[in-house]
């Protein structure tokens, strides 16, 4: 589990690719203090496993499923990447629950300034992801824990403080770029419970529909 607080920006120093499988060589400094083989590292929000420790960096495998559904396939030598080690049991929980399981990608459709903040407007590439995004809710963008400012029919905005902009890969992102998105795990579970009852299978549509509804919750004081 991660928190969405980026520890450092590393660099891709090698990309080994065979079909839709990749081996990434990543340069890093701060996270190398105690990184061991088998440890989890979020790379631009994608949970990867350190398979080899090298001087000033590490190697990590990228599986075909990850290749197809995240932005890691676009990385090349020299690309900056957000890095965060898995949270320790005694660590501070400064962001929100981040699994490193990317739900989809989004396209940056606008970048504007609002005094000392930079506002990113993002349109999810897969509209199915949008149902988990709510104003003032949490979302992870490229591994960064952020708060949704507002939503429209097809996009949402986040407001970036100068520190976050300067210490993450968002400083290198422009309009038209694609970013990794992970929605709040709590919202995903609530959505699932609202749609499927006991014994239901979302895979084949079997099972009864859940009796839990917004009307039921409202009638019991959950307004």
Q: pLDDT (tens digit, 9 = 90+) per residue, 88-120?
A: 767 777 778 888 899 999 999 999 999 999 999
Note the pLDDT of residue 210: 57
Band of the pLDDT at 209, cuts 50, 70, 90?
Answer: low
Specify the range with the lowest mean pLDDT, choosing from 25-29, 38-42, 100-104, 207-211.
207-211
Greater confidence (187 vs 78) lies with: 78
Across 80-91, average pLDDT: 88
**7 token code pair:** 């520890």
Q: pLDDT (tens digit, 9 = 90+) per residue, 140-197?
A: 999 999 999 999 999 999 999 999 999 999 999 999 999 999 998 888 888 777 777 5
pLDDT for 7 beyond 90:
yes
Across 128-143, average pLDDT: 93
Specify the range with the lowest mean pLDDT, choosing from 76-80, 123-127, 148-152, 158-162.
123-127
Note the pLDDT of residue 123: 97
pLDDT for 75 beyond 90:
yes
Band of the pLDDT at 204, cuts 50, 70, 90?
Answer: low
- Structural domains of the chain, ranges and CATH numbers in brackets: 8-85 (2.40.30.20), 187-219 (no CATH)
Across 63-82, average pLDDT: 97
pLDDT averaged over the chain? Answer: 90
Band of the pLDDT at 63, cuts 50, 70, 90?
Answer: very high
């Amino acid at each position: 589990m991660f928190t969405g607080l980026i520890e450092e920006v590393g660099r891709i120093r090698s990309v080994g690719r065979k079909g839709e499988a990749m081996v990434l060589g990543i340069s890093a400094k701060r996270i190398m203090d105690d990184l061991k083989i088998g440890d989890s590292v979020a790379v631009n929000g994608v949970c990867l496993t350190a398979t080899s420790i090298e001087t000033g960096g590490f190697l990590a495998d990228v599986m075909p499923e990850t290749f197809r559904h995240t932005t890691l396939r676009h990385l090349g030598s020299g690309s900056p990447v957000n890095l965060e080690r898995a949270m320790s049991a005694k660590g501070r929980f400064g962001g929100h629950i981040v699994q490193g399981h990317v739900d989809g990608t989004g396209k940056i459709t606008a970048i504007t300034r609002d005094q000392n903040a930079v506002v990113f407007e993002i349109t999810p590439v897969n509209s199915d992801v949008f149902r988990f995004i709510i104003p003032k809710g949490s979302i992870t963008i490229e591994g960064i824990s952020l708060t949704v400012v507002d939503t429209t029919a097809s996009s949402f905005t986040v407001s970036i403080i100068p520190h976050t902009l300067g210490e993450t890969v968002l400083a290198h992102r422009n309009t038209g770029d694609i970013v990794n998105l992970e929605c709040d795990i709590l919202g995903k579970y609530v959505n699932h419970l609202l749609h499927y009852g006991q014994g239901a299978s979302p895979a084949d549509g079997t099972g009864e529909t859940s009796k839990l509804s917004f009307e039921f919750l409202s009638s019991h004081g959950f307004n």
